[in-house]
Structure 1
């Protein structure tokens, strides 16, 4: 049977699955996510959430909690593109030793889909059904894809959101990638823009439209402007957007393979949200939605199942001094690392100092031969070069890590010492290495 005939079956099956999911939630959904970390002011942190885990389970959790059900103003979805490829990121390790700055490739996610395009479309379809219910009545969704499957996903979205609620097919045109001698260069992605209803919020943005010959028209009632290029008018923005990808030397570059530029998200947020609105990205990736939303005064929810993605998002928003909470899906995962932290008491203060770091052999063996040799050498010569950032909670309550001190690496520089006052007698250190491995260590002291 051809795929076009399978689409009806996919939609019907996913609707049935979604009804079962809603019944499961109504009967008392068991929590699979728990709060592990809080950064910044607690009252502000509650408005921004980073979740590490499966995005469908996370959306089920949000529906069960009922705090954001029907309250998300904008969803930006940037799922895998069905590209049949594995995506790696270059992890930069800055060592003060003889190694200097080295790079290690790490797989961040796979987009291979051994069961074929039908399995991919089922994955997208069930999630779209849940996303629709999370949106406000005047909310909207942007689905970011490319030539591989955007035409099939539009059919799914027409069924789920309604053809009448389709707003725009936006073409993001860029310079990078896509060259071949067998076809025209593939230089664009496609964003499908739908409202939940006809009442979706939208504020048209303006762009320059240069006059012919760059000369003034002097039409009556038409306001004209001039810049170094020539004369222009301001018109409503078109649905073809020309902007560059994140360049190798860009200050916002994280190293994540499919990172999207903040300018792209700024344009979407300006058009479809206001300050204080709640935005969500359930395929968090490099964290561009969270970073941009925080910068623009929007509240945000983001999620990713990959540990390197979740760790990268956390670092990115920490660098922006954001207040947020971190939730993690409950699963039994053995720690792949160990960190030595020396805690000392001096008068009324405690000090914490990083001493060494170690990765388990079974984890190191997941890398290639050259990478394994490099990691072994770094562990023996400069093990702390593997730490990307760490934090200390001097007043750990036994449940949630609420650090007073956060130390983030800047190339070769990482502050390894900090101090503070403990009112609880419990101190917890949380370290995150360059590969996304997170480790908590708790120290208990008798209070005098």
Structure 2
């Protein structure tokens, strides 16, 4: 199923292989891929989105209010013995459709992150196109008794061309300084750019 919304451009939410194959070369600014994590379990998911709304049920930095919108509920079997082969044509197509200024954010967890970086992203984009490994840390879910609890996901940022890519620092939501008294009032009011470790509850 394909959902498209027109804003400044077009956003596709879909099984990405079909859509990617339909797009022309070098036509996309940003690809975000959040594939199944190959957990070996049946997964149930409720999709939501948040939008700015003065009467919203969530509060962000500087008191910004956000409304939560439920989108859909679905389930799937998250077991792929050939996970790398499953993902390879998708990453190849993502590379093809990205503009020279474009970026891909690849969201995965600890089970497949290392394989995906080496055998997919490095192999297709090239190691010189790797920009960041973002760690999304959270404190949600169970606590196993025989290992450290896994409480983070990995988001790899790669770019089509490391000399031309776009990174809109001014468009990123700022976070407060932990010790605002150690910076000037203007910096404290503006907040700081988040690091590559994101501490957010799973939404």
Aligned residue number for residue 199 of structure 2: 242
Shift of 1:125: 1.5
Shift of 1:50: 5.2
2:78 is the alignment partner of 1:111? yes
Shift of 1:89: 4.9
Alpha-carbon RMSD across the aligned residues, in angstroms, is: 3.2
- Number of aligned residue pairs: 171
2:176 is the alignment partner of 1:208? yes
- Rg larger for: 1
2:4·2:12 contact (CA, 8 Å) conserved in 1? no
Cα distance in 2 for residues equivalent to 1:121 and 1:88: 23
Shift of 1:56: 2.2
- Over 3 Å counting, the alpha-carbon distance change for 1:51 and 1:209 in structure 2 is closer
Aligned residue number for residue 58 of structure 1: 19
Q: TM-score, normalised by structure 2?
A: 0.72
Kindly report structure 1 stretches of 4+ aligned residues shifted beyond 3 Å.
47-52, 231-236
1:209·1:235 contact (CA, 8 Å) conserved in 2? yes
1:210·1:233 contact (CA, 8 Å) conserved in 2? no
Cα distance in 2 for residues equivalent to 1:48 and 1:120: 28
1:223·1:233 contact (CA, 8 Å) conserved in 2? no
Matches within 5 A, 1:342-357: none
Matches within 5 A, 1:130-149: 130-149=93-112
Q: TM-score, normalised by structure 1?
A: 0.34
Q: Which runs of 5+ in 2 are unaligned?
A: 47-72
Shift of 1:207: 2.9
- Over 3 Å counting, the alpha-carbon distance change for 1:51 and 1:76 in structure 2 is closer
2:135·2:155 contact (CA, 8 Å) conserved in 1? yes
Q: Which of 104, 108, 121 is equivalent to 2:84?
A: 121
Cα distance in 2 for residues equivalent to 1:51 and 1:189: 21
Q: Which of 121, 128, 133 is equivalent to 1:157?
A: 121
Cα distance in 2 for residues equivalent to 1:75 and 1:163: 18
Q: Which runs of 5+ in 1 are unaligned?
A: 1-32, 91-105, 247-448
Shift of 1:225: 6.4
Q: Which of 88, 102, 108 is equivalent to 2:44?
A: 88
Matches within 5 A, 1:266-305: none
Matches within 5 A, 1:332-411: none
